[in-house]
Amino acid sequence: MNEEAQEQFDQINVEEQTKKLHELRDLGIDPYGVPFPEKNSIQGIRSHPDKYLDQDVLLRIAGRIMAIRRHGKAIFADVQDRLGRIQIYVKKDTVGDDSFGIFKSLDVGDVIGLEGKLLKTHSGELTIVVENFSLLSKCLHPLPEKWHGLREVEVRYRKRYLDLIMNPDVREVFQIRSQVLSELRKYLDERDFLEVETPMMQLIPGGALARPFVTFHNALGLDLYLRIAPELYLKRLIVGGMEKVYEINRNFRNEGISVRHNPEFTMLELYQAYGNYETMMNLCEQMLSSIVFSILGTYEVNFQDMTIDFTPPWRRLNLREVIQKEGGIDIFNDSVETLYQRGKKAGLNCDQTWDRGKYVNEFLDIFVQPHLVNPTFVLEYPVEISPLAKAKKNDPLVAERFELFIGKEELGNAYSELNDPIEQKKRFLDQVQKRDRGDVEAHLIDQDYIEALEYGMPPTGGMGIGIDRLVMLLTNSPSIREVIFFPILRPKVD
């Protein structure tokens, strides 16, 4: 069926269903029903059927009709709730003529509530024999018959509600996402971290190197920015003596869309006073490995064509050493001109405006990242691409920083926080010069943050972990759009 024929079919169906809706109202039946609380879950019934079989227990379930099979004076139907599906049996002699006639007019997609008793058919199928029911919501559109066969995957994202109705695997993905968030909170709360909230609209965007979204506040008459990271506000709380804080936060970055990137995404950021990047490494390793085991019951995760082993301890690599080993490039001692020549040879679309930091990130992507399947910490990045990180005492060119890679993707970033206000202001000024040269992702100077540091921030370790990418790993999802309920999409053109 082509798109035009499908639209005509849908319109005819809507007209027929709307006619039925009015007929129900004429009978005094509200097609959008009354509340149906205190119901049994279908999963609970299926998990422990012996509690209800032959026990004369009246069950209450509510859900959507997914299939109907009419047989004269009897009707079988499948009803689906959030976690399961079960067969129901509606018999004319049991519910009465009037109720049976109403049920005969119901359609696939309608939402009902019912009461009945559980039995097992001769074929072993768990079935609820309906004693009474209520229509809770009339569905006016036909449900997709072969949702898995849709060619345009974007339709699933545009109409996520249908995706969730028709595809139990999708519901499972978001169940796991919810578990991940719950387990992260539980782990950190048990270790005396405090969950906090910081502004999503900021006067000065900071905390990451990214292009922000700009909005305008009418009453104040000024530009505001959707946050690209909560970092600078969370570190203000460390200055204030909070010591251990975390935020599961929504960030917004005005950049490209891909299978790994969505302009709106979720991060965990946490900060621990009196720690450093090694504190963060140990915390990260213990936290993520324990959460993976808690949710999946194993340390091994299948992701695309890879088997990833989360068993601690995790590998640790020195960035400079691994790029030199894999690419023959010394990222600290080779001249920028040499890096340019090596970049051209490696196939990079580089030009003479690139600085050393840009080459480091690109060489990491080319020579290192494709080999990092099991969880791996890559350590000690150049300071010039780590403007908020503390430099190593014995090497001022190197930051006490790591990035976490799993399944060939970057999942986290952490460092010993720079708490020297004089050095931090100098770093910000260097960023301003980059902006003046056209780098729209460089930091602005946040003078209030500098002043906060001047009151004294203790040595601190900080870390950010991408929640969406973590859920992708645990659910074997090939695209970030699979793990976000409503990803950003281009407007549909009629």
Strands 201-202 and 244-252 turn out to be: unpaired
pLDDT (average), residues 96-101: 96
pTM of the predicted protein model: 0.93
Span 384-406, average pLDDT: 95
Predicted confidence (pLDDT) per residue in 283-323, tens digit = 999 999 999 999 999 999 999 999 999 999 999 999 999 99
**Per-residue pLDDT at 4:** 62
Q: Annotated binding residues, as ranges?
A: 403, 410
Position 65: which residue type? Answer: I
Domain 165-314+374-483 in the same topology as domain 3-143: no
User: Would you identify the CATH topology of the domain 3-143?
Assistant: OB fold (Dihydrolipoamide Acetyltransferase, E2P) (2.40.50)
pLDDT at 148 over 50: no
Q: Per-residue pLDDT tens for 420-443?
A: 999 999 999 988 888 877 777 777
pLDDT on residue 431: 86
pLDDT at 1: 54
pLDDT higher than 50, residue 147: no
Q: How large a percentage of the chain has pLDDT more than 90?
A: 83
The owner of tokens 């059927």 is 49
Question: Positive or negative, the Cα torsion across 267, 268, 271, 275?
Answer: negative
Other beta carbons less than 10 A from residue 342's beta carbon: 17
CATH number of 165-314+374-483: 3.30.930.10
Question: pLDDT value at position 355?
Answer: 86
- Is the pLDDT assigned to residue 163 strictly greater than 50? yes
Residue 150 has pLDDT above 50, yes or no: no
pLDDT in tens, 237-257: 999 999 999 999 999 999 888
Q: What is the mean pLDDT of the chain?
A: 93
pLDDT exceeds cutoff 80 at 454: yes
Check residue 2 and give its pLDDT. 57
List b or e across 82-113, with b for residues whose CB sees 16 or more CB atoms inside 10 angstroms. Answer: ebbbbebbbebeebeeebbebbeebbebbbbb
Residue 352 to residues 10, 66, 234, 344, 362, Cα–Cα distance (Å): 57, 61, 37, 11, 15
Query: What is the C-alpha to C-alpha distance for residues 413 and 465, in angstroms, rounded to an integer?
Result: 7
For residues 208, 321, 411, 479, the Cα torsion angle rounded to the nearest 10 degrees is: 110
Bind-site residues for Mg(2+): 403, 410
Q: Where are the domains of the chain?
A: 3-143, 165-314+374-483
Write the pLDDT tens digit of every residue in 43-56.
Answer: 999 999 999 998 88
Q: Is the pLDDT of residue 341 over 80?
A: yes
Residues of the chain with pLDDT > 70, as a percent, come to 96
pLDDT higher than threshold 90 for residue 145: no
Nearest to 308 by CA among 224, 206, 411: 411
What is the per-residue pLDDT for 257? 87
Mean pLDDT to the nearest integer, 451-477: 98
Q: What are phi and psi of 409, to 5 degrees?
A: -125, 150
